[in-house]
Structures are given as C-alpha cells and as structure tokens.
Amino acid sequence: MSFNALESGRANVARYVANEASRPEFDTKKPLIVTRTPKPDWQPGDGATDDEWSKHKKVIIDPSSTDSGIDTYKLLISAIVPRPIAFISTISADGTRENLAPFSYFEVVSNDPPTFVLSISGGMKDTLSNLLETKEAVLNVISEWFIDAANYTSITSPPEISEWELSGLHKEPSNIVKPSCIAESAFNIEVKLVNTLEIESARTPGQIISRVCILQGVCMHAREDILNENNTLSLDKLKPVGRAGGISYVRVRETFEIARYEYAQQYEDVPVVKELSKK
C-alpha cells in the first residue's frame, strides 16, 4: 500500500470516529414494529400514494461516460438497496488458508434446488481462489449482534492472515462441506459451486472485472429459537443486517404487510380489473 493510500485510509477512519461520536446510541432493545401500509385504502388503478415523483426531471446517465467504473459502482450501491449480504467462509484445497469475507452482490434465485448468485469483483481474491479450488463454501446470514466482527473481515489482509482470528468469530463444523459455519450466525447454508461466469470490462476489453458464481445449497443450519413452527425464521429474533450505499448498513426494525391477489378473484369485484378484462 502506498503512503498516500495509507494516509487517506487513516483520514477516513478519523472522520468515521468523529461522526460516530455525535450519533445516538445503537438501541439493541428496539422492537420490531409492524405498521400499516403507506396507503391502507389504496385501490387498483390508484398508482403512487403521492405526486412528488411528477415534480422532478430525471437525469440520463450513460455508464460508459462516467469518469471511472468506481463512479458507476458508487451510484449502483446507493440505488440497489437494501442488499442482502453473503458472509462467506471458505478454505483452500490444502486446508492452510481459511477465509471469511462479506459480499453484497448476492441473492437467492431458486428454491429447488436452493440456488444463489454471487458476484466477486476485482482480481483473484482469497474467497474466489478458495472457492475455485474446492468448489465449496458456507453462506452465513449476518445479524446485529456480530455486525462489527463481520465488517472487520473486509480488511485487506494478506492471504496467510486468518479473518477468523482477526474478527474473533467462532467456527462450527459443517455437515457436508469442508469450510466451517460461523457459530454466531443464526442461519448457515452449505453450498457447492456449480458454475461461474466471467464479466469483461466495457472500459478495458479483455480484462475480467468480476466473476459471477452460481452456488447450490446442500445443507442448511437454523438456530432453534429463531426457527418458527411453519419452517420460517422469526424476523424479530433474526435481526438481519443489509447493505446500503457507501459504508452504510441497514437493520430491519419496522415492516408492513401487503396482501397478494389472484386475478380471477379480483375480476368480479374490482372495476378497473373488470373493465380491462373486456378489452
């Protein structure tokens, strides 16, 4: 790391510490609140709940015209929010390098079989190297009670340095794959790599800018006190954490419910549905 980069990093940490000191304390006891929807009396055809959207123009942004790929990255992570985090544990084929790292370019895409998509940007990071070697990993859901430890594993440490020790998190044996589960995590998914897709840079043709990994779940672990009788997890007890823009995280402490509808059931009762069906 260059001297300028080191000084810049120190300055960023100093600003963070100063800002943190001025903020209210983190409320660990804050309950999950279920509110009404933004417009409880909304009817089909009503559209948005206010007209603020109609008062502003939109700016056209060509991703190829921005100064750098970093500009597009900053824009996207501030717009695609909140994002779930894949906190991944991997191990090298010879068992000498164990790695922990969080990734927010991640999502579940199928349930039968459980299938997940993960994008790892940049070069051959430790997680990707281990994953390509062994074709195995564990996805660990991050909760409020260990977010500080999870965040610290994103540090740019050398491959021989274990994020397990840096973070203070504990290993729990997996059932099928070799990488360990994170004991602190309330939900772990053992996965195997089934495919990869290389994404080439539009700015620098020939340069691989990221690798998309397709992962298949082969075993899941759920903490007994958080698992409901209907085989779902209690949101109030899970206390999941997601990513927003910059270095921001989000917590789920407020939610609301909206019913899903079947078209056939709405046909006779909802005027706009009935009228459209006649066309």
Domain CATH for 144: 2.30.110.10
pLDDT digits (tens, 9 = 90+) for 201-246: 888 888 899 999 999 999 999 999 999 999 999 999 999 999 999 9
pLDDT digits (tens, 9 = 90+) for 118-173: 999 876 789 999 999 999 999 999 999 999 999 999 998 888 889 999 999 999 99
CA dist., res. 238 & res. 140, Å (int): 12
CA dist., res. 176 & res. 72, Å (int): 39
pLDDT above 80 for 264 = no
Quote the domain boundaries for residue 262.
3-277
**Burial class of residue 211 (count of CB atoms within 10 Å of its CB; 0-12, 13-18, 19+):** buried
Within 8 A by CB and 6+ apart from 103, the residues are 85, 86, 88, 118, 119, 120, 127
Within 8 A by CB and 6+ apart from 113, the residues are 216, 217
CA dist., res. 263 & res. 270, Å (int): 10
Number of domains making up the chain: 1
83 or 15, greater pLDDT: 83
